[in-house]
Amino acid sequence: MIPLNSFGRTKHASTRVIFGSYALNNATQTEADHVLKILLKYGVNHIDTAPMYGNAEKCIGLWMKKHRGDFFLATKSRKRSYEGAKDDLEKSLSIMGVDYIDLWQMHGLTNPVGWQRVMGPGGALEAFIEARDKGLVRFLGVTGHGDNVPAMHKQSLERFEFDSVMLPYNYLQMQKSRYAAYFNDLVELCRKRRVAVQTIQSIVRQPWGQRPPTYNTYFYEPLENQNAIDKSVHWSLSLKDSFLITAGDIRLLPKMLDAALRYDKTPSNAEMHAMVDEFDMKTIASSTSDYK
C-alpha cells in the first residue's frame, strides 16, 4: 500500500501519491471503474479533479455512491469572480453527487491580473470563504503551472491562509536556479504554516513539439520507461512531506503507483543526469497564462 502522510494541517492522512483525475478526461465509465480498482489495490485515498477535466467529475460521481468515505476529494474552480466560482462549486457538488468537497482549489492562479480579480471585491476568494463557512467545502487551496508559480503561491499565502498549494516539481525544473530558489522559499513557508505541498509534472520527458500527442498528458510528453518513471517518482517523493499528483493518462497510473510503492531512496544526481541524457529530456515551456 502507498504510504500515508499528514496532509498539512487538515488532520487527514493522505497517500503520498494522489490520483490526478485528468487521466479520466476522455474515459468511459468502464475504464474509470478499472482505475478505481487500481486505486483501491494500492490504497490511494485522495483524488484530485476539476470541472475542466472532461468526464472526470461524472465518472468519480458514480464512485462516490459507494466510496465517498474512502477518499479525500479535491476539486477546483478556474473562475475568478464570486458568482463564477460559486456556480462551479454547485455544479461539482451536483455532478459528483456529494454534500461537500474536502479541498476546493483555485485553478491555475498564476497571472497577476487574474490574481487581483480573485482577491478583490466580488472575487472568487469571497465564494471560497463563504463555501467553507457553510460547510460545503472543508479546506481551501491554490494551484498553478509555469515558472512564476512559486512566487505567485507565496503571494497568495501572504494574502490568505490557504491549506494547500500545487505546483511543478521535477529534476530538470529544479535545475533552473531562479525557479528552485522561489520553490524552496515557498516550501519553507509551507512547512512553517503546515500548508500541504502537492507536486505535479514528475515524469515530464519533453514538450510535445510538432508531433501529435500519444498520451493524455496535456502539457508534456511523459516518460514511459518503467526505470525512468521509477527514478523520477522517487526523486519527487524525496521532497519531505510532499504529495505527488499522478500524470494525466490511465496507462501511466499503474507504473507510477508501482514506482511509489518501491520508493526507498533518492536517486543520485549522477543517475538523474544520465537519465536526462538517455531520454533526451527537456523542461516544458514556462507559462504565465490564466483562466478567466
Residue 255 CA to residue 245 CA, distance in Å, equals 13
284 occurs within a structural domain: no
pLDDT tens for 268-290 read 999 999 999 999 999 986 654 44
> Do the bridges between strand 243-245 and strand 196-200 make them parallel or antiparallel, or are there none, so unpaired?
parallel
Q: How many domains does the chain have?
A: 1
CB within 8 Å of 104: residues ≥ 6 apart: 74, 75, 76, 77, 89, 128, 131, 132, 137, 139, 140, 141
pLDDT at 161: 97
Query: Does 96 reside within a domain?
Result: yes
Domain encompassing residue 216 = 4-278
For the stretch 180-204, pLDDT in tens is: 999 999 999 999 999 999 999 999 9
Looking at the domain assignment, is residue 159 inside a domain?
A: yes
Q: Which long-range contacts (CB under 8 A, 24 or more apart) does 268-272 make?
A: 271/231, 272/171, 272/231, 272/235
Other residues' Cβ atoms within 10 Å of the Cβ of residue 56: 27
Residue 71 belongs to some domain of the structure:
yes
> Residue written as cell 500527442?
213
Residue whose grid cell is 490574481: 115
User: How far, in Å, CA of 149 to CA of 197, rounded?
Assistant: 13
Write the pLDDT tens digit of every residue in 212-250: 788 989 889 999 999 999 999 999 999 999 999 999 999
- pLDDT, residue 168, reads 97
Rounded to two decimals, the pTM is 0.96
Judged against a pLDDT cut of 70, whether residue 292 lies above it is answered with no
| Residue 172 forms part of a structural domain | yes
Q: Using DSSP, how many helices (H) and how many strands (E) does the chain show?
A: 10, 12
**Is residue 286 in a domain?**
no
CATH of the domain at 200: 3.20.20.100
Q: What angle do helix axes 149-159 and 112-119 make, rounded to 10 degrees?
A: 20
11-39 per-position pLDDT tens digit: 999 999 999 999 999 999 999 999 999 99
Q: How confident is the model at residue 209 (pLDDT cuts 50, 70, 90)?
A: confident
Please report the pLDDT score of residue 96 as a whole number: 98
What is the mean pLDDT of the segment spanning 157-164?
98
Average of pLDDT values for 41-64?
98
In a domain, residue 285? The reply is: no
